[in-house]
Amino acid sequence: MNADDVRVLACDTVFQGYFRVDRYRLQHRRHDGGWSQELTREVFERGHAAAVLPYDPLRDEVVLIEQFRPGALAAGWAPWQLEVVAGIVDPGETPEEVARRESQEEAGLTILELAPIADFLASPGAVSQTERLYCGRVDAAGAGGIHGLEQEGEDIKAVVVPFAELRGLLAAKKVSNATGLIALQWLLLNRDELRARWSV
């Protein structure tokens, strides 16, 4: 089944702030061939995102960032999250441009090369956001410190982690967000091939 198997009866914006919430009235085709009852569902609209795991293949290190996250606070989890670099794709921007811009803004790093990891939906039950995830080749010598745009209220700490410590980091549940988990597990599976591609 595809989008042709959905009848959108109405779509209204019910909240517009920093983010937007739309309320849909719809029906969708059922697996038995019939149609569902009319459903009302809210969808959180926050734009599409690009994310990048900065990796230095020569030093065999990744650079993660730590920042305050109100969603984690509301869920009762640690509000300072260890993450990969990420940002919203603005109109006229490509995901690659966002990955490069955000790496500079959030970690003070210049991306030398990008390797695609995955495209995925953040939470398709209620959020329209898609995410394009990369691994970015960087020079991590001297990486660290505090970054972010003051006008956006950002207070972001860059953290350098040797590849040899990644399994322990994951086992200790130090990374608890989906994008970070996907990126780090991908690197654990693909590091040797990636280093060969980047001629290390």
Catalytic residue among 152, 154, 165, 193: 152
Nearest to 4 by CA among 35, 28, 36, 40: 28
Amino acid at 143: A
β-bridge pairing 145-147 and 156-162: antiparallel
Do 43 and 122 contact (CB within 8 A), yes or no? no
Beta strand spans in the chain (E): 6-16, 20-28, 39-45, 49-56, 61-68, 80-83, 85-88, 113-121, 130-137, 145-147, 156-162
Active site residue 152: yes
What is the Cα–Cα distance from 188 to 141, expressed in whole angstroms?
Answer: 21
Residues involved in catalysis: 152
